[in-house]
Amino acid sequence: MKQVRVLWKIAAALAVSLSVAAASSASTPEQESSAPTLSAQRSRADAQAFIDEATRKYNAGLTTSAKPGQTIVPAAGPNWSADLDTWVEYTFPASSGASCMNGTPYRMYYKVSSDAGMRDKVLVDFEGGGACWDFESCRPDAATGAANPDGLPSGYIQGDGIVSNTALLLTSPVLEGNTLLVEAAARLLFGRGSGKLDDGWWGRLWQTTTAPETQKWTKVVFPYCTGDVSAGASFRAFDDPAAPGDATKTKYLNFNGLNNVRAAMKFLQDHQFTQSLSQRGYLQQLLVYGGSAGGYSAQFNYPMIRQALAGEKTRVALLNDSGPLLTAPVYGTGETIPAADLEKTPAAKFWQLASHTWGFFQQPLAADLRVPGHPEYAEQASGLIARWEKTTGKKVDITKATGGTTGNFSKVLSQRYPVDRFGLSTFQQDQVISRFFFIGAQNAEVVGLEGSALRDAKLKLFRKELDLVRADLGPLPNFGYYMPWSRYLVIGSHVTTALTFAGTETTRAANIRDDGGRIQPAFDGDVGHFLNNLLSVNTLDAEPVLKEVGPEKAESLNLAGVVGWLLALFNVFG
């Protein structure tokens, strides 16, 4: 029965993948338009009042929150030894300051491993699902928008596992194992499956692939409902463009992802999460992971999660899957970016829009500092940069004024945590990230284009930016990367760990320099091998992080190649 459910899940996920990719490549031309007007910062007291009211209305409309197979943290608090290998839901009270974008309750899920040897190894996973930054992009029906703009239903994850009981965007072999039938289907779609180092896949069609150890770890999952790649601390109001000046149609958006993580870490610390998992009193290993928007979430929240959960002897790693921090200096709000600078770093306009909307540089207002009985408001109002500088003790220069770029987010991690292992994985032909970063009037190269010309122009900008990312990460001794060419049957070559590791293979001959300039043994593997490299407990000298970039390739003669050719023929991916 479970195999049937899993096969249905994969089929449904592939269908959603195709629809997402098609939606992300609208055939309408990219026209010049004015940048959205950024509303004034509002205080955390205003945000808390918004959360309180939205939660009150939400609770008043509930008839029951229980669903079959659903386990909820009891009122007395979590019992970490109960309900092993079962997803448990915790809903944050409004008083915690946690909430979805629309102010409704935020939920976190965890599953404690029944394997005593794996229980104190923890996977923290961030769900992906787009991003938004204004009235139009944060609409539930926005073509380029974010997941769950109307909040998270109770029971988002239920019962016996992610594969059969939750959102498709969380389906990944990093979290849950695929069955033999699913892996056989993956081989038919993509050729050689994951976890194998030879090319005779047709002789191993019915073998299961190597499963990463993380499938047996204790897991903490952050669903996504804030539109800000879980990095915002900004409460803002946006007028309806169709009804300017009509206050009754103003949309209030709580870009609250950063505060949700803060509240979650406080919950886990207050209830002795790490101490309860191990007799050592600290975790053996910790992996912070996410795909798409979740990849950005994982990297942006890494210092705060590490500080809260890792002990002195914990081996800690990051896998940012398909959340590349495309390199650019961040310009001030309303500041004109010179054409020469935009040509050099095409992602600059997106970073200008997103970082200011989501409050990366936000500082507490006077109102936040003097609310009686709420000293936490000042922390909640502090943006991403302030949180990083407080946690790491290092200056995070990413603005044009300071001579920095977004690449400093990676350099600071590498320098501050020199024994940790960091990794970025991404397809070079990622049609989703390129859609978000180079949208509308942000880049002259895409204005007026449509269809395949628009798609190709955005991919050209994306690959140019990936070269800058590689230049940033190449010299960092503990920051690896893995960049296969494409797998465009799955979400338009987006998220290397989605559904299966099959179709992510790259090879490199022995005794030549890898992309980091080091003489290395031969490599013939997939993103699963990249993950295992990041999880290694060896020193960096004994086992360096991988830096692998696959060559441009034509789709192989398998089912995926045939389907992909047909999709390209009919311009499904725009």
Grouped pLDDT means (10 residues each) for the chain, 574 residues:
46 44 43 54 93 95 75 90 91 97 96 95 96 92 88 84 56 80 68 46 45 93 97 94 86 97 97 92 95 97 98 96 97 90 93 95 88 88 97 97 96 98 97 88 82 92 96 96 88 89 85 78 87 94 93 62 49 42
The confidence score (pLDDT) of residue 429 equals 95
For residues 131 and 148, is the Cβ–Cβ distance under 8 A?
no
Q: Could you tell me the residue ranges of all domains in the chain? A: 1-30+175-211+426-574, 36-167+215-321+362-398
CA distance 248 to 252: 11
The secondary element (H helix, E strand) that includes residue 318 is strand 315-321
Phi-psi sector, 161: left (phi>0), alpha (psi -120 to 50), beta: left
| Three-class secondary structure of residue 402 per DSSP | coil
Q: What's the distance, Cα to Cα, between the start and end of the chain in Å?
A: 38
Strand 285-291, strand 121-126: pairing: parallel
Beta bridge partners of 287: 123, 317
Tell me which residue of 505, 482, 497, 493 sits closest to 425, measured CA to CA.
482
For residues 354 and 230, is the Cβ–Cβ distance under 8 A?
no
CA distance 366 to 382: 12
Amino acid at 22: A
For residues 220 and 298, is the Cβ–Cβ distance under 8 A?
no
CA distance 295 to 309: 19
The confidence score (pLDDT) of residue 22 equals 40
Residue with tokens 């004034």: 40
| Three-class secondary structure of residue 211 per DSSP | coil
For residues 477 and 6, is the Cβ–Cβ distance under 8 A?
no
Residue with tokens 């003669």: 557
Q: For helices 559-569 and 180-190, what crossing angle results, to 10°?
A: 50
The confidence score (pLDDT) of residue 202 equals 45
Task: Tell me which DSSP letter residue 258 carries.
Answer: H
Burial of residue 266 (CB within 10 Å: 0-12, 13-18, 19+) is middle
Tell me which residue of 119, 108, 393 sits closest to 266, measured CA to CA.
108
Burial of residue 372 (CB within 10 Å: 0-12, 13-18, 19+) is exposed
User: What is the number of other CB atoms lying within 10 angstroms of the CB of residue 143?
Assistant: 14
The confidence score (pLDDT) of residue 243 equals 86
Burial of residue 463 (CB within 10 Å: 0-12, 13-18, 19+) is middle
| Three-class secondary structure of residue 237 per DSSP | strand
Give me the DSSP letters along 471-519.
HHHTT-TTEEEEE----TTTTTT--TTSS-STT--EEE-TTEE-TTS-E
CA dihedral 421, 424, 425, 428 (to 10 degrees): -150
CA distance 429 to 414: 27
For residues 478 and 420, is the Cβ–Cβ distance under 8 A?
yes
Tell me which residue of 488, 514, 509, 513 sits closest to 427, measured CA to CA.
488
CA dihedral 560, 566, 572, 574 (to 10 degrees): 100
Considering Cα of 558, then 459, then 355, then 227, what sign does the dihedral take?
Answer: negative
Answer yes or no: pTM beyond 0.85.
yes
Listed in sequence order, the residues at least 6 apart from 359 whose beta carbon sits closer than 8 Å to its beta carbon are: 41, 232, 233, 234, 255, 383, 384
The confidence score (pLDDT) of residue 519 equals 81
Tell me which residue of 162, 191, 160 sits closest to 174, measured CA to CA.
162
Task: Tell me which DSSP letter residue 68 carries.
Answer: T
CA distance 499 to 163: 9
Taking CA atoms, 43 is separated from 93, 255, 262, 365, 376, in Å, by 19, 13, 18, 6, 12
